[in-house]
Amino acid sequence: MEKTKVAVIGLGSIAQIMHLPALKQLDEVEIVAVCDKELSKAKSLSTKHNIKACYKDVDEMLDGSPEIEAVIIAVPTDVHRIISKKCLEAGKDIFVEKPIARNLSEARDIVDTAEKCNRKLMVGMNNRFRNDAMLQRSFVKGKEIGEVFYVKTGWLKAQSSSQRWFMEMEKAGGGVFFDNGIAMLDLGLWMLDFPEVKSVTAINYYHNTKSVEDSNFSLIKFKNGSSMTIEVSWNFIGENELYYCNVFGRNGSSMVNPLRIFKKIEDDIFDITPKNIKTPKNIIKQSYEYEFKHFIGALRGVHKMISTGKKALSVMEIAEAIYDSAKKDKEIVF
């Protein structure tokens, strides 16, 4: 079978450290072009990875490399919409790094364009593709811990980028919640199978920032009676970063980092965590490899795509309510 011809737009740290190496691991992929507003960077990386074409301009890339079938978009959030639409309208399937856009309106425009152009759209949520998260969800879906009523998620770490745009609301769309919280929101919703939202309550802090929040704490209530909390911060002082997704059911619980599964049988609690599962040395790097393998497989019709544009709209609707709640200091009822 011929290789799927892929281009990468935006060659920042995430593309250099995760995207390009992960794509190079896939035998079914050929990276045929890279594009970045800094042409010198595009030239350097095209040489390093033996990629035949490099560009400074997206339109030039789409015209100059018509063989491109799919595009990985990893640019600042304020240009997600315009670049996504250009690629979709040029007949390309796209993978857009999270968050899909700065707000719900922009996200809806991208999703509508994908549907109009009959192209596939996946949003980068690599945390779904961690091996511990995938195993955790298999236990949750298999009803091993019973009916789930509460998911507790959090990610306390340094900000992901030191670039200036990352700290500007107009360009980034948000602060730590858009950096880390939206990933934890998506992961929690995935564990719960995306139930209908009843209400959202949130608070933001700006201890070391002005334009965007550096801490966010949110409570989401669902119409089926379950709930979820999200705790994210760039500003918690500790020895290491803290990442967790804990799922609580009526008959047990599960958690990641490390993966643990507990189940109540009659009056006893048993640890049913698989004993022969090895956590990879670089679980984050592997999650990107799995994510791109899934994306390419979905393009080839091997399986159905997850983390779709439509699911991203559900995430963005809640995200918008979270910012609205924090701004107004009140519960937002759906």
Instruction: Write out the chain's pLDDT in tens, 334 residues.
Output: 799 999 999 999 999 999 999 999 999 999 999 999 999 999 999 999 999 999 999 999 999 999 999 999 999 999 999 999 999 999 999 999 999 999 999 999 999 999 999 999 999 999 999 999 999 999 999 999 999 999 999 999 988 888 889 999 999 999 999 999 999 999 999 999 999 999 999 999 999 999 999 999 999 999 999 999 999 999 987 778 999 999 999 999 999 999 999 999 999 999 999 988 777 789 999 999 999 999 999 999 999 999 999 999 999 999 999 999 999 999 999 9
Q: Is 292 among the domain residues?
A: no
Question: How many domains are there within the chain?
Answer: 2
Which one, of 97, 331, 327, 329, lies nearest residue 212 by Cα?
A: 327
Q: Is 291 among the domain residues?
A: no
pLDDT of residue 279: 75
Residue 114, token pair as written in the block: 């994908």
Q: Are residues 80 and 197 in the same domain?
A: no
Q: Are residues 132 and 272 in the same domain?
A: yes
Q: Is 240 among the domain residues?
A: yes
Q: Are residues 120 and 240 in the same domain?
A: no
Q: Are residues 318 and 254 in the same domain?
A: yes
pTM (2 decimals)? 0.96
With the C-alpha atoms ordered 111, 109, 5, 33, is the resulting torsion angle positive or negative? negative
Instruction: Show which of 63, 98, 125 is a domain's final residue.
Output: 125
What is the residue range of 233's domain?
127-282+309-333
Instruction: Show which of 67, 90, 125 is a domain's final residue.
Output: 125
With left for phi above 0 and alpha for psi between -120 and 50, is residue 277 left, alpha or beta? Answer: beta
Q: Are residues 244 and 159 in the same domain?
A: yes
C-beta of residue 7 within 8 angstroms of C-beta of residue 73: no
Q: Are residues 169 and 113 in the same domain?
A: no
Q: Is 296 among the domain residues?
A: no
Query: In terms of DSSP H, where are the helices of 103-195?
Result: 104-116, 131-141, 169-172, 176, 182-192
As a whole number of angstroms, the distance between CA 159 and CA 150 comes to 27
Q: Are residues 194 and 327 in the same domain?
A: yes
Q: Is 103 among the domain residues?
A: yes
Q: Is 71 among the domain residues?
A: yes
Question: Domain containing 27 — which CATH number?
Answer: 3.40.50.720
Q: Are residues 111 and 258 in the same domain?
A: no
Q: Are residues 101 and 178 in the same domain?
A: no
Q: Is 145 among the domain residues?
A: yes
C-beta of residue 279 within 8 angstroms of C-beta of residue 258: yes
pLDDT of residue 276: 83
Q: Are residues 73 and 28 in the same domain?
A: yes
Q: Are residues 140 and 108 in the same domain?
A: no
Please list the residues that pair with 199 across neighbouring strands.
221, 333
Q: Is 164 among the domain residues?
A: yes
C-beta of residue 46 within 8 angstroms of C-beta of residue 20: no
Question: Domain containing 235 — which CATH number?
Answer: 3.30.360.10
Instruction: Show which of 99, 125, 151 is a domain's final residue.
Output: 125
Q: Are residues 12 and 65 in the same domain?
A: yes
Residue 155, token pair as written in the block: 């990610």
